[in-house]
Structures are given as structure tokens and as C-alpha cells.
Amino acid sequence: MSRVAVFGAGGFIGTATTVALREAGHEVVACRALRLRVDAATLERPTWAPARDQIARLAGELDDVEVVVNAAGIATAGAARTPMLVGGNAAWPRLLADACARAGVPRLVHVSTAAVQGRAHVLDESLRYAPLTPYARSKTLGEQLLRDAAARGRVAVTLYRPPSVHGSGRRMTAAFAAFCRRYPLVTCGDGDQPVPVALIGNVGAVIAAILTAEHAPFVVAHPYEGHTVRSLYETFAPGRRLHTTPPALVRGLLDATAPTGQWLAPLGALCRRADLLLLGQAQRPGWLRHRDFELPLGRPAWHELAAATRHAELPLSSHVP
């Protein structure tokens, strides 16, 4: 097994990653990411590169490391386009890739997000981007910078794209459960549209599976967990009635608000979440499906999570997946 450095090991995804990797027999070194502040215009210049002294210092922490997993970043869907957001989600992973190359670390797995493809009809493992929020744009820029770093051939990069991740203790999950109890549940049609969501335990298992493979593709999408809009509501709010609305009306409203949501981050995040819960989003079977990978946690784990969060009382500022 490998000696793996996990950056952001103390965070929500980083903790699950550390547990899954140790269970798989890897030696895990918990590392902290640097806090970078860089504006997007600077990063988009072809001449931009991380500072050499930062690369050297970071490379010094990677002695005897065989794989690096980056689970660090700013995972706030409604965040404004600030130098901290861009630095954490774009400049930092590029710095880490350059440090891996300098230290001779052959592999880097970077936790990105399915949000980089926005309202695409079908999520896939391509480099087609359609980010709708400043957060998604910062993650897209991070992927593009890592693509450039990987093209040099000194480090093999894998971008892992989980959708909305739920788990015990996560504010977003508890707030979604509260929303399901308090407000009318609305969907389009019969609610059988697939919706991309993930359990945190499955996210850790996917990262471990990526490390197990001798060669992984540049992009790995999280496998579909089988939820539809209806089944997700029924899991968190059993017995509640679903109200239907015409899909054409929803699409028209979302299309009308999209331009404003591009610069008004909270509105963009709200529209994106409404889009998922009303219209759903399909995803194409990817690399893990072709490897016959099976998620360790299924529908019973979703019901256990819903039962554990059903009585949480939290503000509804982040109440949807």
C-alpha cells in the first residue's frame, strides 16, 4: 500500500477520505493547505505560475509520499468571487501539483465538483464546462490549471467530481431535512428525474478506489447513487405530499434568472439547487461503472441519515443539496 498525504484531512471530505484510505491499508499523512489569496484575472494570465519559494517549501513536506490527495478548498456554493475563493479552489491545487512534480510524487488526486458542468443535461467525465456560480467557476479554473500541470507529464492528475455530498453532522444535510419538514415539496412531473447526490462514506470509498487503480483517467465522476427527486424527498420527508409544476415554467424562470445569478452568488446557488430539486440531472456511466465498482453504502444508509437529521433545527440558508 501507499504513503498518502491528504491535504484538508480535518475537513468533511478529508476526514472521510482519511478513514477510507486507512481502512484500505494506506499510511495517511494529514497535511494542512496553504491559504492563498489570488484574484481570478491574475490566474487566467498565461504567464501565471506559483511562487518558487512556495513550491519549494511545500515540496519539502512531501518526502517519501507516493500519492497526494487534495481535499482542501472552499466548499461554499453561495460564496462570492473573492481572492480567497479563487486562491483556495484554483491557485492552491495548481501550487500543489507543482510541488508534487518537484518532490517526485507521481500521483495527485484532486477533489473537484460536479458543479463545474452546471445545468448540462447529462453529467459526464468530459472537460465541457458550464459553471453557474462564482464557486463553480473557481473550481473550473482549478481543473483547467491542473490540466495544464498534468500536460507537462511530471505528475499524473485525477480530478474527482462528487455532486452534493451529504452526511451526519453536515449543516447542509440537517438544513435540507428541516426544509423538507417545513415547506411545500415541489417537483416537475412525477418526480422520477434522477438527482446527483452522494453519501460522504461513498465519497471516501471512491477516492480509495481511485488510488487502488494503477492508472486512473484525468476525470472521474462520482457514480449515480440511484436517487430521483421523488425518492430524495420521500427519504427525508416520508408521507408528505409532492406538488407538481410544469417543467416549461421552471426552465423559463431559471433561464431568466441565470444572468443575474452569474454575479449575484447567493441567487446563483439558490437557482442551481432549485434546478436540481425540480428538474433533476442525469449522469452518464463513467470509469468506475466500467470497473464494476460498487458503492459500499446504499439506500438503507440514506434512510439512517435522514432519521438522524430529521429533528435538526437549523437556518435554511443552505437547505437544498
Chain segment 158-210, per-residue pLDDT in tens: 999 999 999 998 988 988 898 888 889 999 988 999 999 999 999 999 999 99
In this structure, the answer to whether residues 104 and 213 fall within a common structural domain is yes
Q: Confirm whether 316 is domain-assigned.
A: no
Q: How many CB atoms lie within 10 A of CB 252?
A: 11
Claim to verify: residue 73 and residue 31 sit in the same structural domain: yes
Does residue 90 have a pLDDT over 90?
A: yes
Predicted model pTM: 0.93
In this structure, are 62 and 209 located in the same domain? Answer: yes
- Residue 20: pLDDT band by 50, 70, 90 thresholds? very high
Q: How far apart are CA 89 and CA 176, in angstroms?
A: 25
At how many degrees (to 10) do helices 265-279 and 229-236 cross?
Answer: 100
Say if residue 320's pLDDT is above 50: no
CATH of the domain at 94: 3.40.50.720
Average pLDDT, the chain: 91
- Residues 290-319 have pLDDT tens digits of 999 999 999 999 999 999 987 655 444 444
Q: Is the pLDDT of residue 267 over 80?
A: no
Q: Tell me: do 145 and 118 sit in the same domain.
A: yes
Task: Give the C-alpha distances (Å, rounded to integers) separating 242 from 179, 183, 272.
Answer: 13, 11, 20
The CA R_g of the chain, rounded to the nearest whole Å, is 19
Q: What cell does 117 get?
A: 458542468
On whether the CB atoms of residues 261 and 271 are closer than 8 A, the answer is yes
Cell numbers found for residue 241: 405530499
SS3 304: helix
Report the C-alpha gap between 261 and 133 in whole angstroms. Answer: 7
320 located within any domain = no
Shared domain check, 45 and 8: yes
Q: Does residue 178 share a domain with residue 114?
A: no
Residues 77 and 100 in one domain: yes
- Mean pLDDT is highest, among 21-30, 76-85, 261-270, for 21-30
- Give the whole-number percent of the chain exceeding pLDDT 90: 72
Residue 217 and residue 232 in one domain: no
Q: Are residues 232 and 210 in the same domain?
A: no
Q: Can you give the residue range of the structural domain that contains 274?
A: 171-195+225-283+291-309
Same domain? For 256 and 216 the reply is: no
Count of domains for the chain: 2
3-state secondary structure of 21: helix
